[in-house]
Amino acid sequence: MPEAGWVFNIQRFSLHDGPGIRTTVFMKGCPLRCLWCHNPEGLESRPQVRLTSSLCTHCGRCAEACEHGGHTVTPDSHDLHLEDCVRCGQCVEACYAGAVEMVGSRMTTEEAMAVVRRDVPFYDQSKGGMTLSGGEPMAQFAFTREMLQTARAEAIGTAMETSAFCPWERLEELLPLLDLLMVDLKHTDDARHRELTGVSNVPILANLVRLSEVGIPLILRTPWIPGRNAEEPFLEGLIDFVSGLPKKPPIEFMPYHRLGLSKWESLGSDATMDHETPAATKADVQPWIDRCARAGLEATIR
């Protein structure tokens, strides 16, 4: 019986999720709740209602169709109240303008791989392939494993972006199916990590040590968030931790951007980052790169 999983986007011709030209499959569901999350549509494992305000004609059909009071529509505004939403999709069907949509669809491995296969010639020419991201691919382990098995059998390059917040045994099982692993590290201090993400970093750090020991191609991805983890204790902890690994992975700093703010609003939720927090620039992050370089570590900006 083929596996199936919840996917909220399949992005073709991606250039930032591994080497070459890639197709990135974004999966729903994540155990972390990072304050700066820029893909909030990937947090829940279930489909979610999303509103694109610029497409709304304020006809009110969605409000009439919803039995749970999920939409308040006036000639000038459209507000979401999705606390009691049952994901029935009636509001989506009623919206002829396409302003209301359901984010997340149930796809079999074959359905998802059919999209991935469209760009095989580009993978071959650029040494690219398929990347699994999210959300968190490890939250849908069986689906993730079958996707990687299928890609491996068809000689399609494989990569995965993960928080590594999972049992080592599951991560270890996938290693023979992966050409590259990109692990996000939000903070090295456990108490601070809990404040920023809602979970402990103990299993993440332990998994990173083991990944370094087995020697799989690994990239450490580190978001750089003003007022959150862009602080001296994290930089010191990051340098100390990576310097102590058996094989030191390159670090990719990812400067904070504000694109996720509107996504939270489109899902009927309040953004977990305030609107006053500025986007980070290369100049902001450069001192961290310089400090890493002086410590003998490879660091770049993604």
**Cα 269 → chain centroid:** 18
In b/e form, how buried is each residue of 210-242, taking b as 16+ CB within 10 angstroms? bbbeeebbbbbbbbbbbebbbeeebbebbbeeb
Phi–psi pair at 158, nearest 5 degrees: -130, 140
Looking at residues 3-13, what average pLDDT do you find? 96
Q: What is the C-alpha R_g of the chain?
A: 20
Specify the pLDDT at position 285. 97
Residue 152, CA distances (Å) to 177, 178, 183 in order: 6, 8, 20
Picking from 163-167, 170-174, 271-275, which range would have the lowest pLDDT averaged per residue?
A: 271-275
Phi–psi pair at 141, nearest 5 degrees: -60, -50
Amino acid at 298: E
Looking at residues 229-253, what average pLDDT do you find? 97
Specify the pLDDT at position 301. 95
End-to-end CA distance of the chain: 39
Domain spans in the chain, listed from the N-terminal domain onward: 4-44+106-301, 48-103
Global pTM exceeds 0.75: yes
259 — pLDDT class (breaks 50, 70, 90): confident
Residue 5, CA distances (Å) to 2, 36, 98, 114, 167 in order: 10, 25, 24, 14, 20
Q: In which residue are the tokens 């270890």 written?
A: 172
Architecture of domain 48-103: 2-Layer Sandwich (3.30)
Q: Does residue 147 contact residue 26 with C-beta atoms inside 8 Å?
A: no
Query: What CA–CA distance (Å, rounded) separates 176 from 179?
Result: 8
Counted residue by residue, the chain has a size of 302
Q: Is the pLDDT of residue 60 over 90?
A: yes
Query: What CA–CA distance (Å, rounded) separates 3 from 211?
Result: 27
Pick the CATH number of 4-44+106-301 from 3.90.1150.10, 3.10.20.310, 3.30.365.10, 3.20.20.70: 3.20.20.70
* Residues pairing with 159 in the sheet: 131, 180
